Structure 1
Amino acid sequence: MKSILIYIFIFFSVFSFGQNNEQKEFLVCYSQVWGFLKYFHPEPSKKDWDKYLIEDYEKLLTCNSRLEFNQIISDLINECGNYKFKKRDIADSLIFRESFSWLNNSLINKKNHSYLTQLRNNKPEFKNKYISKAPSGNPKITNENSYGNYRYNPSIHYLSITRYWNIINYFCPNRNIIPENWTQVFKNNIYDFITANNYEDYYFAVRKMTTEIRDGHGFIRTENNPIDKYKYTPFYCTGLSDGYFINAVLQDSLQSIDLKRMDRIISINGEPVEYKIRQVGNFLSTSNDYYLSKATRYLRITNQDSITLAIDRDGNRVIRTYSTMDKETLKSRFRPTKASPQKSPYKFLKDSISGKEYCYINMGRLKRSDINREFKRKLMSNDNLIIDSRNYPNWTLIKLSKLLIEGRSKFAKFIAMDFDYPGSYKWTQSQTIGNKKKGYEGKIYVLVDYNTMSQAEYTVMAFQQHSNTTVIGGQTAGADGNVSEIQLPFGIKSVFSGLGVFYPDGTPAQQVGVKRDYEVLQSSSYLQGKDLILEKALELIRNK
Structure 2
Amino acid sequence: MEQGIRKPWKSSVLLIVLFIFMIAGCSPSQEAQQLGREKDQEFDQGSGMEFTSLSEQKITDLAKLSKVWGVVKYYHPKVVSGDVNWDYELFRVMPSILEEDSDANSILYSWVHSLGSESIPGELEQQFQFSEESIQFRSSTDWCKDAEYLGTDLSLELSKLLDSNISARDNAYVNFKSDPILPSMDNENPYPNMNFNDTGYRLLSLFRYWNIIEYYYPYKDVIGEDWDQVLLEFIPKMIEGSDYDSYFTTLAELTTRIHDSHAFLIGKNKETITDDLGTYRLPVNFIEIDNQIVISKVINPCGLEVGDIVLKIDGKNIDELLESRRTYISQSREDTASLFYLDLFRTQQKNTDVTVIRQGKTMDISAVGSQQDIQFQVDTKSQAMENDEIYYINAGLLKDGEIDKIMKKWWNTKGLIVDLRNYPSSSLTYELAQYLIPSEKEFAFVSAPNHAIPGEFYYLEPLVSGGSKATNNEVYKGKLVILINEHTISQAEFATMSLRNTDNSIVLGRPSAGTDGNMRVIVLPGNIKTAISGIGIFHPDKSPTQRIGLQPDIRLDPTLEGIVEGRDEYIERAVELIKEGD
Matched residue, 2:449: 417
Aligned residue pairs, count: 510
Using the aligned pairs only, state the percent identity: 27
Q: 1:532 to 1:125 in 2, by over 3 A?
A: closer
Q: Which has the larger radius of gyration?
A: 2
Normalised to the residue count of structure 2, the TM-score between the two structures is: 0.80
Letter in structure 2 aligned against 1:380: W
Give the one of 172, 197, 201 matched to 1:129. 172
Cα distance in 1 for partners of 2:187, 2:136 equals 26
Matched residue, 2:15: none
How far residue 221 of structure 1 moved from its aligned partner, in angstroms, is 3.1
Q: 1:36 to 1:517 in 2, by over 3 A?
A: same
Matched residue, 1:212: 257
Cα distance in 1 for partners of 2:100, 2:365 equals 55
Q: 1:101 to 1:473 in 2, by over 3 A?
A: farther
Name stretches of at least 5 consecutive residues in structure 2 with no aligned partner: 1-49
Match of 2:192, SS?
A: coil
Letter in structure 1 aligned against 2:140: S
Task: Note if contact 2:517-2:533 (Cα within 8 Å) is conserved in structure 1.
Answer: yes
Cα distance in 1 for partners of 2:205, 2:137 equals 23
Task: Note if contact 1:239-1:293 (Cα within 8 Å) is conserved in structure 2.
Answer: no
Alignment of 1:135-174 (within 5 A): 135=179, 137-152=181-196, 153-174=198-219
Matched residue, 1:383: 414
Matched residue, 2:150: 108
Q: 1:269 to 1:338 in 2, by over 3 A?
A: closer
Cα distance in 2 for partners of 1:214, 1:165 equals 14
Q: 1:306 to 1:189 in 2, by over 3 A?
A: farther
Task: Note if contact 1:248-1:336 (Cα within 8 Å) is conserved in structure 2.
Answer: no
How far residue 319 of structure 1 moved from its aligned partner, in angstroms, is 3.4
Task: Note if contact 1:475-1:513 (Cα within 8 Å) is conserved in structure 2.
Answer: yes
Deviations 1:286-312 (A, max 9, x none): 111221599343222244676443222
Matched residue, 1:366: 398
Cα distance in 2 for partners of 1:489, 1:512 equals 32
Alignment of 1:385-400 (within 5 A): 385-397=416-428, 398-400=430-432
Residue 245 of structure 1 pairs with residue 294 of structure 2: yes
Cα distance in 2 for partners of 1:208, 1:56 equals 27
Cα distance in 2 for partners of 1:99, 1:368 equals 44
Cα distance in 2 for partners of 1:248, 1:192 equals 39
Cα distance in 2 for partners of 1:363, 1:322 equals 33
Match of 2:401, SS?
A: helix
Decide which moves more: 388-397 or 409-418.
Answer: 388-397
How far residue 98 of structure 1 moved from its aligned partner, in angstroms, is 4.3
Cα distance in 1 for partners of 2:417, 2:147 equals 55
How far residue 159 of structure 1 moved from its aligned partner, in angstroms, is 0.4
Residue 77 of structure 1 pairs with residue 112 of structure 2: yes
Give the one of 535, 539, 553 matched to 1:517. 553
Letter in structure 2 aligned against 1:156: Y
Letter in structure 2 aligned against 1:73: L
Cα distance in 2 for partners of 1:31, 1:386 equals 51
Q: 1:514 to 1:156 in 2, by over 3 A?
A: same
Alignment of 1:417-496 (within 5 A): 417-436=449-468, 437=471, 438-496=474-532
Letter in structure 2 aligned against 1:495: A
How far residue 542 of structure 1 moved from its aligned partner, in angstroms, is 2.8
Letter in structure 2 aligned against 1:539: E
Letter in structure 2 aligned against 1:295: F
Give the one of 29, 35, 60 matched to 1:25. 60
Give the one of 171, 190, 201 matched to 2:246. 201
Residue 47 of structure 1 pairs with residue 84 of structure 2: yes
Deviations 1:54-110 (A, max 9, x none): 233333333424x2x123212320342123213667656637454324434844111
How far residue 368 of structure 1 moved from its aligned partner, in angstroms, is 2.8
Q: 1:17 to 1:362 in 2, by over 3 A?
A: closer
Cα distance in 1 for partners of 2:165, 2:217 equals 19
Match of 1:494, SS?
A: strand
Deviations 1:205-252 (A, max 9, x none): 11111111111111233434264363324443513214213455675x
Residue 528 of structure 1 pairs with residue 569 of structure 2: no
Task: Note if contact 1:238-1:294 (Cα within 8 Å) is conserved in structure 2.
Answer: no
Letter in structure 2 aligned against 1:367: K
Cα distance in 1 for partners of 2:64, 2:546 equals 29
Decide which moves more: 113-122 or 176-185.
Answer: 113-122
Match of 1:290, SS?
A: coil
Letter in structure 2 aligned against 1:228: D
Task: Note if contact 1:277-1:296 (Cα within 8 Å) is conserved in structure 2.
Answer: no
Q: 1:55 to 1:279 in 2, by over 3 A?
A: same
Decide which moves more: 458-467 or 119-128.
Answer: 119-128
Match of 1:131, SS?
A: coil
Deviations 1:401-449 (A, max 9, x none): 2222211111111111102110112210111111242211111000001
Letter in structure 2 aligned against 1:70: N
Matched residue, 1:119: 161
Q: 1:337 to 1:174 in 2, by over 3 A?
A: closer
Give the one of 340, 343, 346 matched to 1:301. 346
Deviations 1:464-512 (A, max 9, x none): 1111110001111111111111111111111111111112122222221
Residue 236 of structure 1 pairs with residue 284 of structure 2: yes
Give the one of 526, 539, 547 matched to 1:503. 539
Match of 2:465, SS?
A: strand
Cα distance in 2 for partners of 1:188, 1:528 equals 49
Cα distance in 2 for partners of 1:61, 1:506 equals 45
Matched residue, 1:64: 101
Cα distance in 2 for partners of 1:91, 1:336 equals 48
Matched residue, 2:20: none
Letter in structure 2 aligned against 1:99: S
Letter in structure 2 aligned against 1:236: V
Name stretches of at least 5 consecutive residues in structure 1 with no aligned partner: 1-14
Q: 1:305 to 1:21 in 2, by over 3 A?
A: farther
Deviations 1:264-322 (A, max 9, x none): 11123444312321322211111112215993432222446764432222222223566
Match of 2:188, SS?
A: coil
Letter in structure 2 aligned against 1:132: N
Decide which moves more: 234-243 or 424-433.
Answer: 234-243
Cα distance in 2 for partners of 1:130, 1:372 equals 43
Matched residue, 1:176: 221
Normalised to the residue count of structure 1, the TM-score between the two structures is: 0.86
Letter in structure 2 aligned against 1:399: E
Q: 1:219 to 1:407 in 2, by over 3 A?
A: same
Query: CA-atom RMSD, angstroms?
Result: 2.9
Deviations 1:307-348 (A, max 9, x none): 4432222222223566767xxxx24xxx98999933x4x312
Letter in structure 1 aligned against 2:579: R
Cα distance in 1 for partners of 2:465, 2:236 equals 48
